[in-house]
Amino acid sequence: MEYPEIDAYASMDSPIHRFDPRAKIVSFTLLIFSFVFVNEIRIALLGFLFSFLILLISRLPLAFALKRIRMVFFFLFPLLLVMPLTVEGREVLNITGISVSFDGLIFASLIIIRALAAVTLALIMLATTRFDITIKALYALKVPGTLVQMLMFTYRYIFVITDEFSRMWESMECKGFRLKANYHGLSIFGNILGMIIIKSYDRTRRVYESMVAKGYSGKPNTLVHLHMSTKDYVLSTCMVGIAIFVHVYQLMFTV
């Protein structure tokens, strides 16, 4: 089975790649929340442009990034069709009694722009750092260990479970099974999902017992030692300052 491009560009060289993972997580998270809670479309657009600028600085391939960003856009695009018809406001068009409001169009655009900015920043944050280093950085930031371990094992075994499901599905297709929207087809599909859940549970127990026997303590061990440099402090300060400035400017702009 072909897996998605996991950590494919984490070994590249750019200022964002060299950014300390702990500072990167904190700075990007603050930027994401800052852009998500913007209420002015022009400021949101500037936030999206800033996110795209960071994408260029990170040197991630645009095809790699745009492929994932456009999935979010296609998911949110129906808002541009629905909200102008449902949100009350200044009417810009009337089609056979159906009112299209300008406020609804602006509100839908605001939601989409904020989401695209947040997704772009999240993609940069995750794609420029190896996943095992991200896990270690989360532990260093005192994120609850249970949550981090769930994230780590989900990342590690979701592809194993997907492989298992694919093998079972191919085996049933070789025996002539074709999924149809009837009682028999749905019951067979439900049985497959049930078997996957049972196998996943058994695998989890065996893996956990094996890891405990090998001395697993719940903390990740990597050869990478995290160290904050002066450049990391400067870059994180700039990003946090931008996150704060966005809302200060919004308050001044709306007054």
In a domain, 161, yes or no: yes
Same-domain status, 155 and 64: no
Whether residues 205 and 234 share a domain: the answer is: no
Query: Does residue 4 have a pLDDT over 60?
Result: no
Least confident of 71-85, 115-129, 206-220: 206-220
Q: Where are the alpha helices (DSSP H) in the chain?
A: 21-36, 41-58, 62-76, 78-86, 102-127, 131-140, 145-174, 183-213, 230-254
pLDDT of residue 48: 92
Asked if residue 135 is part of any domain, the answer here is no
CA distance 73 to 120: 11
Q: What percent of the chain has pLDDT over 70?
A: 91
Q: Quote the domain boundaries for residue 158.
A: 145-213
Cα separation of 41 and 37, whole Å?
Answer: 11
Same domain for 26 and 113: yes
Higher pLDDT, 45 or 87: 45
Q: Which residues pair with 101 in a beta bridge?
A: 91
Across the range 220-242, mean pLDDT stands at 82
Average pLDDT, whole number, for the chain?
Answer: 83
User: Are 100 and 176 in the same domain?
Assistant: no
Judge if 206 and 244 occupy the same domain: no
Indicate whether 153 belongs to any domain: yes
Examine the domain organization and report whether 96 and 180 are in the same domain: no
The answer to whether residue 222 sits within a structural domain is: no
Q: Answer yes or no: is 5 within a domain.
A: no
Indicate the range of 17-31, 97-111, 124-138 predicted with least confidence: 97-111
Q: Looking at residue 254, what is its pLDDT?
A: 60
Other beta carbons within 10 angstroms of residue 184's beta carbon come to 10
Instruction: Supply the pLDDT for residue 168.
Output: 83
pLDDT digits (tens, 9 = 90+) for 119-157: 999 999 988 988 878 888 888 888 887 788 888 777 777
Q: Are 196 and 166 in the same domain?
A: yes
Q: How many domains does the chain have?
A: 2
Greatest CA separation found in the chain? 72
- Region of residue 107 (left: phi > 0; alpha: psi -120 to 50; beta: else): alpha
Does residue 6 lie in a domain region? no
What pTM did the predictor assign?
0.78
pLDDT higher than 80, residue 56: yes
Please give the average per-residue pLDDT across 220-229, as a whole number. 72
- Same domain for 83 and 200, yes or no, is no
In this prediction, residue 152 carries a pLDDT of: 79
In contact, 120 and 45? CB cutoff 8 Å: no
Tens-place pLDDT, residues 171-212: 888 888 777 777 777 888 888 888 888 888 888 788 878 888
Percent of the chain surpassing pLDDT 90: 18
In a shared domain, residues 120 and 187: no
Domain membership flag for residue 11: no
Is residue 137 situated within a structural domain? no
Q: Are residues 73 and 166 in the same domain?
A: no
User: pLDDT value at position 219?
Assistant: 66
pLDDT at 83: 81
DSSP 87: S
Q: 135 to each of 102, 106, 222, how far by Cα in Å?
A: 45, 39, 10
Residues 150 and 123 in one domain: no
Residues 247 and 123 in one domain: yes
The rounded distance, in Å, linking the Cα atoms of 110 and 44 is: 7
Section 57-81 average pLDDT: 88
